[in-house]
Chain A
Amino acid sequence: MLITISQLVIGSVDLLAAFFLMFGLWRMSSPVTAPSGILLAGGAMVAAVLASFLYVFTVDAAARPDLPLNVGLAVGALVLGVGVAWWSGRKVAITAMPQAVALFNGMGGGAAAAIAAVELFSMKAHGAAALTVTLLGALIGSVSLSGSVIAWAKLDEILKKPLHLPGLQIFNGAVLLLALVTGGYMVFVTTGAATTLLPMPTLIEMFFGLALLYGIMMTLPIGGADMPVVISIYNAFTGLAVGLEGFVLQNPALMIAGMLVGAAGLLLTLLMARAMNRSVGKILFASFGPGAKRKQGAIKGSLKPVQASDAGIFMRYAKSVIIVPGYGLAVSQGQGKLYDFVKLLQAAGVSVKFGIHPVAGRMPGQMDVLLAEAGVPYDLIVQMADINEEFKTADVALVIGANDVVNPEARTDKTSPLYGMPILNADQAKKCYCVKRGDGKGYAGVVNPLFYADNTFMVYGDAAAVCVAMAEAVRGLGAPAAAA
């Protein structure tokens, strides 16, 4: 009776949880509904976790004597994990969000791999199909765990340089192949189609070791600018691993939530790769070093430096300004100062909008979050596809800490590594100010002809300092009495 009731309750709660997790994501279609969406999903999650303790009524006979211990450990792990992660999630800086997401994602992958490990060690998975699914989830989860940790270390700048070794891709291929062979061999042994050469626990340990190693070696050669794609892929991987282990545990809520995230991660990955003009395969498997050196055609025009104060005052008397923020702005922590300047412009009746490239920052949409943190209302933040037509009629484009995403070569020069990448049409504005620390090239190592264009003026300096200088110059003009 208790068994039936507990199964009924768990089944119903998990059904509702699966629905509300999907519905929570559904509400993310607008900044207005998104906050309530995540709260609904959070409530569903709490309910599912609480209901899962009803599994005490259906545990295996072998585990029954130690049940109090197991329950105690589960509560302890739950309290400890939630406590530490909640505290660090509350504390982490918004600029450090990509690292945090990578780390929390790695934990999920690790949890899925750990579940698979218990299934394997306890020999609970019966039959070739169940064992194969368990192993597949274990492989993907382990790769996601170790890969995410490396991604976290790279984003946190603990690991600074991408690793480039000759033959690394071949080595990685061999590691993956060996892991697959080990897994396949385990399936054959369990089904009796092959004899054991090594004891099963050794095989299991080997399998996990290889999978973890593969995750590390696969992520090490990937450069910092490709991280948006990498985080997104590992997110999809963890989802997939969770979904597969959900099948092994016969838990449809895990299957649904996992596969949902798997598909979501896949879609996001493809969107990111397209916005960066790179193929997913190249990012993951091409150890792209210094590629073929290309002779860039002579660039007409010259760099014309101006003072930040002059640029600020010019914008004060403009009608419309579109700001193109890039990662350089985030590096100098200038978002708040930039918004101070924007508020002064708005007070003077200037129409100001932010044009955001999909891969501005170190993870998709990071620039949007950084601007939101600085207090910029979301209706001023416009995505590339929606704002590109407006540059033609804008008086000023203010490019601040961005480079490749405004390089007009991407439209015209077929030999450019940027060719085909969608860019923000800052060059089409009547006047363009570019805030940069120096004459450096962008990540793609390409000189940007925009900086040399007739209507472009360079403002040299740290993005935050330039914003302060521009704001001071505008304030120096006196109170804008005839506002609005």
Chain B
Amino acid sequence: MSFQINIDGFIAIYLFMVTAFAGWVIIGRVPAILHTPLMSGSNFIHGIVVVGGIFTLLNASTPLERAIGFLAVLLGAGNVAGGFAVTQRMLAMFKPSGHVAAHHAKHGHAGKRAVPAAAKSAASKSTAAKSPSLKKG
């Protein structure tokens, strides 16, 4: 029994077609507010090229191949790590109203959360008004 992967011409085109469609649908759902993290996030995802780089470097048999393979892994690793670091940092910044007052933010959908969030924001507003020294951005 063999687990060798073999993707021939037409199968590849089918795979590309389905994936492109999935990508179109998935990205179409992302709200404009997250377009920058989306871009750096998709940037991170094509960083999987580092896996191809490792494969290539492991199979290198001449100094030239080894040098270019090293470059491939280096650049791919930079793509993956940098893409992840900036995306994760940006996403961590998006907070709903009143997250300072209530940090146990474990909500389901934005719609369900709307009413308590408004209440929380009102609460934080009044505390901020009473004690300006306590407020923190």
Contact = CB atoms under 8 A, between A and B. Distances in A.
Nearest to B86: A89
A45 B84 contact: yes
A238 interface: yes
A28 interface: yes
A444 B106 CA distance: 44
A250 B69 CA distance: 17
A105 B15 contact: no
A45 B80 contact: yes
Interface of A: 4, 7-8, 11, 14, 17, 21-22, 24-26, 28-32, 34-35, 37-39, 41-42, 45, 48-49, 52-53, 55-56, 59-60, 62-63, 66-67, 69-71, 73-74, 76-78, 80-86, 88-90, 92, 94, 97, 100-101, 103-105, 107-108, 110-112, 114-115, 117-119, 121-122, 129, 231-232, 235, 238-239, 242-243, 245-247, 249-268, 271, 336, 339-340, 343, 346-347, 356, 358, 361, 363-366, 368-369, 372-375, 377-381, 383-384, 479-480, 483-484
A59 B58 contact: yes
A339 B76 CA distance: 38
A247 B84 contact: no
A368 B23 contact: no
Nearest to A236: B42
B102 interface: no
A421 to B, nearest CB: 16
A379 B117 contact: yes
Contacts of B51: 14, 48-49, 52, 251, 253-254
Contact of A260 (B26, B81, B92, B135): B26
Interface in B50-64: 50-62, 64
Contact of A97 (B62, B64, B73, B90): B90
Nearest to A11: B3
Given A118-B65, A255-B19, A347-B129, A104 B79 contact: yes
Contacts of B109: 30, 32
A34 B58 CA distance: 35
Given A255-B16, A377-B99, A38 B91 contact: yes
A279 B98 CA distance: 41
Given A28-B41, A254-B49, A107 B78 contact: yes
Chain B interface category by residue count: 35 or more
Given A368-B33, A377-B121, 10 more contacts: A32-B108, A104-B86, A107-B82, A111-B52, A245-B52, A257-B45, A258-B49, A268-B35, A364-B36, A377-B99
Given A35-B88, A84-B78, A89-B84, A55 B55 contact: yes
B26 A22 contact: yes
Interface in B5-42: 5-7, 9, 12, 15-16, 19-24, 26-42
A377 B26 contact: no
23 contacts: A34-B94, A52-B54, A62-B61, A82-B80, A86-B82, A100-B82, A105-B83, A121-B65, A231-B39, A255-B16, A257-B45, A260-B19, A264-B42, A267-B27, A268-B27, A268-B38, A364-B39, A377-B99, A377-B121, A383-B31, A480-B129, A483-B129, A484-B122
Find the residue from A17, A42, A384 having the highest chain B CB count within 10 A: A42
B54 A369 contact: no
Given A74-B58, A379-B117, A82 B77 contact: yes
A365 B35 contact: yes
Given A86-B82, A115-B49, A122-B65, A235 B42 contact: yes
A63 B60 contact: yes
B26 A118 contact: no
A232 B91 CA distance: 19
Interface of B: 1-7, 9, 12, 15-16, 19-24, 26-62, 64-66, 68-99, 105, 107-110, 113, 117, 121-122, 125-126, 128-129, 132, 135, 137
B27 to A, nearest CB: 4
Nearest to B19: A259
A39 B22 contact: no
B33 A267 contact: no
B126 A111 contact: no
A81 B75 contact: yes
Contact of B38 (A28, A110, A356, A361): A28
A22 B60 CA distance: 31
A264 B26 contact: yes
Contact of B39 (A250, A268, A480): A268
B90 A49 contact: no
Contact of A243 (B16, B64, B70, B129): B16
B39 A101 contact: yes
